[in-house]
Chain A
Amino acid sequence: MIVTINGKKRRLDVPPMARLLDVLREDCGLTGTKEGCGEGECGACTVLVDGVAVDSCLVPAAHVDGCKVVTVEGAAAAKRSARALQNAFVEHGGAQCGICTPGMIVAACTLKAGCSRDEIKRALAGNLCRCTGYISIFNSVEAALPPARKGPPSRLALRRANARARRR
């Protein structure tokens, strides 16, 4: 089968039912993608398949034949927001032990600039973190994906900013 992984086309000779997670980690040497539970509950193994965030522990290799797969190692090259997300996770405390971080960042790559906190929660709903209580993760994503600065801020954005200020 042929898969484009992090922008590079690769011919892979693996069993069709091999877990995409193992193919990435063992056959491609991309160990940035982590295993937390092996049953699609924790999201540590999240990768993008044709732009959709999936748990790679649940995806058989045959499913990605002809697809584009992006892992944390290739996120910065593939997604404009990824570099900002990575930096924000360091600066705003989104990464502690770091084992959920690759999956969090890849999942957050599906979000658009200016997304609301509820949208962030929904996008990350399948990703578990045991260190942070999630708040600093939400803060990191918000910091990395601010609303586009064109014209005056929307009333909604202002309301959100005010609410944030009040909370502090």
Chain B
Amino acid sequence: MGRAVGANVRRKDGDAKVTGAARYIDDLTFPGMLFGATIRSTIPRGEIVNTHHDLSSDFVVADYRDIPGNNYIALIDPDQPCLSEGEIRHVAEPVLLVAHADRRALFGVERRVRFDYREQSPNYDPETSDTCFKKISIDKGDLDQGFGEAEVVVEGEYRTGHQEQLYIETNGVIAVPGDGQLTVFGSLQCPYYVHKALVGVTGLAPHRVRVVQTETGGGFGGKEEYPSMLACHAAVLAMKAGRPVKMIYDRVEDLLATTKRHPSVIRHRTGVTRAGRITAMDVSVLMDGGAYATLSAVVLSRGVIHAAGPYRCDHLRIRGRAMQTHTPPNGAFRGFGAPQTQFGVEAHIDRIAETLGLDPVRLREINALRPGDTTATGQKLGSDASALPVLREAVKRSDFKKKRRAWRGTNRGIGLSLFFHGSGFTGAGEVKLASKASLELTATGARILVASTEIGQGTRTMLAQIVADALALPFEAIEVHVPDTDAVPDSGPTVASRTCMIVGKLLERCARELRRKLGTATPAQYFKAHGPLTVTRQYEPPAGQVWDDDRYAGDAYGSYAWGCNVVEIEVDPVTFEVTPRHVTAVAEIGKAIHPLMAEGQIQGGTAQGIGYALLEEVVMREGRMANAQLTNYLIPTPMDAPSIDVAMLERPYAHGPFGAKGVGEMPIDGPAPAVINALRHCGFDLRSIPATPERLMKARA
């Protein structure tokens, strides 16, 4: 067979989305529904000693005492309260919840509540913070020996700022209470994360809590953890009021209160020979976690594992720390730590090339990881390790060397980055998750039962393609159940570039088993003769995949996708505005299940990466985002976006569905360092992003 995989079939959610028929969370209403709002602290650190408000009895008001269960949002560490019990750790700390039948009655409601505080002095510098959320060390070989072999040592410090996911649909949920039960509908990535948090906060038995994903207008990691908080808030109000409660953030609140990409400081000390062979790498990674632990430990983990870049080095040391500061918690964003650390290493590699007087392509060719090499954690790479092929393809397609020579000394620049991205949860993560996927026979085909969500990336379509071909049925015969915790097994969160490679593979196994059971019968024939049939499969690691969490060594990921970006820019010599003209994005992803959608992931991720590099700056003043609106937090518009030439290479991964690896996150790893390297080509020694005109002017001066 093989008719759907590799073909640009019509995406399952397409028609509803283009006609306005698709129903997002704010498009739903329930009888008797109230609207909820959150009253937050206004200081970054301290204690609330008194609360005053003049809200009339037509408002439902809830505080931490109304929480039926535990007052924390279950994720990794139980440190973040659902509602403050007095302690304030950041300016957007939720303290009170209010609900009203008239949405307009909530306008300006926060001005009717006043808190008396006992203030404490906040700390915004992760470097001087005395609270560490997580420390990670990676050691390989003998660092002294490595530096002993070096002829040149290059050092550097690189900094990245916050970045907002900026999904166009803001966070929103509706909680519907019932007879000892609770259902939450929402815009979210991970139904079972929300379920776990709700069970803790409501005190209800797991089977009494149901979470249903509604059509979701973008996530990019921003709806991995925060919907758990919002769902718990709506649940507390709904259970107190005994009525459904809808909570939709406006853009300002979404920007002020929800998670962003961790700012980072990356330091490198690298030993190289004059010929360009890297002999030692000493890397430190510092991440600003914000006020609560949230996902900082795992963001740091992915960050440090990618911190040495896609390069061979026998002697290395990587030290990572995620520290507490008094800003709203930082969290998941596409790339999850890897964009920060690969920005550092890729900007550093160009500085090494400059120091040695070597061509940056040549330096990368000498050191790029090849099949059979080992990564920083000692993982031996398989035949699908593609650093060199993507590098060579990008250099050729973009005419890099010729442009590099021709543009030197002009206001045009061209820069390059080489990067990789592990697919799936880190280390033993997938084993611990133990995800399950099910496939249910229908009278006309099969229905996919997974908690993996469609958030725009094409989950429904891509999974149905895999199942169709593995089951030897037409694509149209495959249905996809709505992610609803009452109906689908926990296939894990929709994060970490894992949905295709991990969940897709589980479904492929389900489909092959279902096909074996059907024999030569059609679904209709089997259904008529034997009745319903469901096949479930649980994750099993590929044989030989080993991870040692204590030493942080071993097979960090099942596989890696590989990428190379070439960015061409033009700098206005008067205003220092940088215009990205063209990007060449080469990606090796195992197999493009749906080439058009895979290309869409690469184009979209690349554009976000360009925004990260040039435009997107979260200005923090006294711990509060000062530019919390789209007027001055700028993302690329149709006028800013460069043309992007995408090339996809396919080197199949033996344990991926039809050879596929992950594609979702990797595209955002490469653009920022390629932009900085293009700026270096233009004569700007900049080591931090975003490369705003102000920073460029200072770098020139």
Contact = CB atoms under 8 A, between A and B. Distances in A.
Given A31-B23, A72-B19, A97 B216 contact: yes
B600 A44 contact: no
A85 B11 CA distance: 16
Given A97-B168, A128-B637, A130-B167, A135 B23 contact: no
B630 A98 contact: no
B114 interface: no
A125 interface: yes
B10 A90 contact: yes
B638 interface: yes
A59 B629 CA distance: 19
A46 to B, nearest CB: 12
A133 B641 contact: yes
A44 B168 contact: yes
A96 B456 contact: yes
A71 B20 contact: yes
A69 interface: no
A35 to B, nearest CB: 7
A51 interface: no
B398 interface: no
A132 interface: yes
A97 B638 contact: no
Given A34-B217, A37-B251, A167 B20 contact: no
B251 A39 contact: yes
Nearest to A126: B637
Interface string B594-625: 00110110011111100000000000000000
Contact of A97 (B218, B599, B607, B644): B218
B399 to A, nearest CB: 13
A130 B600 contact: no
B455 interface: yes
A132 B170 CA distance: 18
Interface of A is mostly: loop
B393 interface: no
Interface string A109-128: 00000000000111011111
B415 to A, nearest CB: 19
Contacts of B637: 125-126, 128
Given A93-B597, A97-B455, A121-B639, A133 B251 contact: no
A21 B111 CA distance: 25
| Residue in A85, A99, A132, A137 with the greatest tally of chain B CB atoms within 10 Å | A99
Contact of A73 (B8, B19, B604, B641): B19
Interface residues of B, number: 57
B604 A125 contact: no
| Residue in A95, A97, A127, A132 with the greatest tally of chain B CB atoms within 10 Å | A97
Nearest to B165: A130
Given A41-B630, A97-B217, A134 B17 contact: no
Nearest to B217: A99
Interface of B is mostly: loop
B14 A133 contact: no
Nearest to B248: A35
A98 B600 contact: no
Interface in B303-324: none
A100 interface: yes
Contacts of A122: 639
Interface in A107-162: 120-122, 124-138
A21 B168 CA distance: 16
A95 B168 contact: no
B645 interface: yes
Contact of B636 (A73, A101, A133, A167): A133
A120 B458 CA distance: 25
A32 B217 contact: no
Contacts of B18: 72, 85-87, 89-90, 95, 98, 101-102, 105
A60 interface: no
Contacts of A86: 15, 18-19
Contacts of A97: 167-169, 216-219, 455-456
A92 interface: yes
A27 to B, nearest CB: 13
B50 interface: no
For the complex of A and B, list the 8 residue pairs with the smallest distance between their C-beta atoms, beginning with the closest.
A32-B20, A97-B456, A99-B217, A98-B17, A133-B607, A90-B14, A41-B630, A96-B456
Given A34-B169, A91-B8, A135-B641, 6 more contacts: A41-B630, A44-B168, A92-B596, A95-B17, A97-B217, A122-B639
Interface of A: 25, 30-39, 41-42, 44, 71-73, 76, 85-87, 89-93, 95-102, 105, 120-122, 124-138, 167
11 contacts: A38-B251, A90-B10, A93-B596, A93-B597, A99-B167, A99-B168, A99-B218, A130-B220, A132-B603, A135-B643, A136-B603
